[in-house]
A and B are shown apart, each in its own frame.
Chain A
Amino acid sequence: MKPHHPDTTTLMEFSAGNLSEPHALCIRLHLDKCADCRSRVETLDSLGAVMMESQPQSEVSSGMFDTILSRIDSDEGGASKHAGTAAESSGRISPLVKLLGDDLNSLPWKRQLGDVSVLDITDRFPGQNEQVVLQKLAAGGKAPSHTHRGEETTIVLQGAFADQKGVFNQWDFVVLNQEDDHKPVAVGCQDCITLSVLSAPVKLTGRFGRLLNPFIR
């Protein structure tokens, strides 16, 4: 897959509903802006339907349909109520805004060192094992060189950064792992803000390694 998009196996796990919420959020934000990946997910959703159809079936209990009918009968107005929420959804609020409000720059950022600020939002995803962090690299700023002990899934929310692999613009998606020792630089005239989901702590490789350990952990 192209380096700035989720790979197909990840999209498949998304379509199957198997990704954790923070991972799914990264994919959703990318899909909202990427028609190619959206079209792949549509085909994958069809694959899910065909898989479900081609597997064995399990008989449902005989009274179930009546139970369902009585539920929809006692729920008159349910359909119209739902139509209302659907109408609202045409002006859908991005999950990012629901989660963080509409001004990323005014969040309670914690300055780490030099050009880097972070905000840990793991507690917004109760019951998840991964760490979820926002990172901000000041416009023109550099982050210290670091590698990754586990896997780090990142989506660019604002601005752009560049490293050895290229330039990552807003809504680009990138997965970094142990093999990626990178030294990102914010490019353009905006601060670069990213959302990352980390499966294990980051290991810093530069001479500030120890000092910077909390960064992108």
Chain B
Amino acid sequence: MSTLDKKPAQAEGRKDPWSQLLVKVGKNQDREAYHALFQHFGPQIKYYAMANGMANHAEELVQEVFVSIWRRSCLYDWKKAAASTWIFTIARNQRIDMLRKMQRTSAEMPVETEDLWQIPGEHENEPVTSLHRLMSERRVRDSLKHLPEEQITVIAKVYMESKSHQMVADELNIPLGTVKSRVRLALNKLKVILQDQNV
């Protein structure tokens, strides 16, 4: 990402209205901004929960995610992640947490969900990667429009229905290799794979 200079990335972060709103929540406990975020992301998160087979807990998940957003908004740094990416990772972690709590027997896990799945920008000091992060979301959004439907379908099942590639292959009745190659083609276009040597 060394070819990108700093200015466009910073402009990117400043332009994103959701990131601006999230900063206001973090700095001033701004409830109007919080409400705007809720109206935008709440229905997305509810669908995310329902698609993931948590229909009975979908509203509970939305609540947990928003309480968590409020509590940790002071840690949010627009230079390190777009608001939507930050919120997605919180929704993902709350989903994992809820499932873990439901499955947990008497034994407690010494490792917390967030020890394994981190929220971008909270656990490290890496100014170098922040440029990459800010650019990546827009790049992903722009290139997603040009992907063939069959590639988007596979990715959607992994992200929205928490399916492994094997499960997607079984469901679509196509070989695992085909699923993986669709994902790789897509990720190549999204430039997730920078230099894949021996695929």
- Assess the A50–B116 pair: CB atoms within 8 A: no
Per-residue B-contact encoding for A22-59, CB less than 8 Å = 1, 0 else: 00110110000001101110111111111111111111
Residues of A within 8 Å of B89, CB to CB, are: 45, 48
Which listed residue, A1, A17, A58, A127, touches B103 by the CB 8 Å rule? Answer: A127
Shortest CB distance B100–A (Å): 8
Shortest CB distance B34–A (Å): 8
Q: Decide yes or no: A86 and B122 within 8 Å by CB, A18-B164, A52-B160 being known contacts.
A: yes
Q: Which of A8, A15, A38, A52 has the most C-beta atoms of chain B within 10 angstroms of its own C-beta?
A: A52
Say yes or no for A167: interface residue by CB 8 A criterion.
no
Say yes or no for B174: interface residue by CB 8 A criterion.
no
How long is the Cα–Cα vector from A18 to B157 in the complex, in angstroms? Answer: 11
Say yes or no for A110: interface residue by CB 8 A criterion.
no
Residues of A within 8 Å of B78, CB to CB, are: none
Residues of B within 8 Å of A189, CB to CB, are: none
Which listed residue, A52, A69, A75, A99, touches B111 by the CB 8 Å rule? Answer: A99
Residues of B within 8 Å of A124, CB to CB, are: 109-110
- Assess the A9–B75 pair: CB atoms within 8 A: no
Residues of A within 8 Å of B118, CB to CB, are: 28
How long is the Cα–Cα vector from A182 to B111 in the complex, in angstroms? Answer: 32
Residues of B within 8 Å of A79, CB to CB, are: 29, 70-74
Per-residue A-contact encoding for B28-56, CB less than 8 Å = 1, 0 else: 01010001001000111111101100000
Say yes or no for A179: interface residue by CB 8 A criterion.
no
Residues of B within 8 Å of A57, CB to CB, are: 43-44, 46-47
- Assess the B84–A8 pair: CB atoms within 8 A: no
Which of A60-68, A134-142, A168-176, A208-216 lines the interface with chain B?
A60-68
Q: Decide yes or no: A9 and B63 within 8 Å by CB, A24-B116, A125-B109 being known contacts.
A: no
Query: In terms of DSSP, what is the predominant structure of the interface of chain A?
Result: helix
- Assess the B198–A3 pair: CB atoms within 8 A: yes
How long is the Cα–Cα vector from A60 to B67 in the complex, in angstroms? Answer: 15
Say yes or no for B62: interface residue by CB 8 A criterion.
yes
Say yes or no for A71: interface residue by CB 8 A criterion.
yes
- Assess the A9–B165 pair: CB atoms within 8 A: yes
- Assess the B62–A60 pair: CB atoms within 8 A: yes
- Assess the A47–B190 pair: CB atoms within 8 A: yes
Shortest CB distance B165–A (Å): 5
Shortest CB distance A67–B (Å): 7
Residues of B within 8 Å of A45, CB to CB, are: 81, 85, 88-89, 120
- Assess the A50–B140 pair: CB atoms within 8 A: yes
What are 5 pairs between A and B in contact, CB < 8 Å? A9-B180, A16-B158, A17-B162, A42-B133, A78-B71
4 closest Cβ pairs, A-B complex? A57-B43, A49-B88, A95-B115, A46-B137
B residues with CB within 8 A of A: 1, 29, 31, 35, 38, 42-48, 50-51, 58-59, 62-63, 66-67, 70-75, 81-82, 84-85, 87-89, 91-93, 95-96, 100, 103-105, 107, 109-111, 115-118, 120, 122-123, 126, 129, 132-133, 136-137, 140-141, 144, 155-156, 158-160, 162-165, 180, 183-184, 187, 190-194, 196-199
Q: A57-B47, A78-B70 are in contact. List 18 more A-B contacts (CB 8 A).
A: A9-B184, A12-B187, A17-B117, A38-B129, A39-B129, A43-B190, A46-B85, A47-B144, A48-B85, A49-B88, A51-B160, A53-B84, A55-B44, A81-B71, A82-B71, A82-B75, A126-B107, A127-B104
A residues with CB within 8 A of B: 1-3, 8-9, 12-18, 21, 24-25, 27-28, 35-36, 38-40, 42-61, 64-65, 67-69, 71-72, 75, 78-79, 81-83, 86, 89-90, 92, 95, 98-99, 123-127
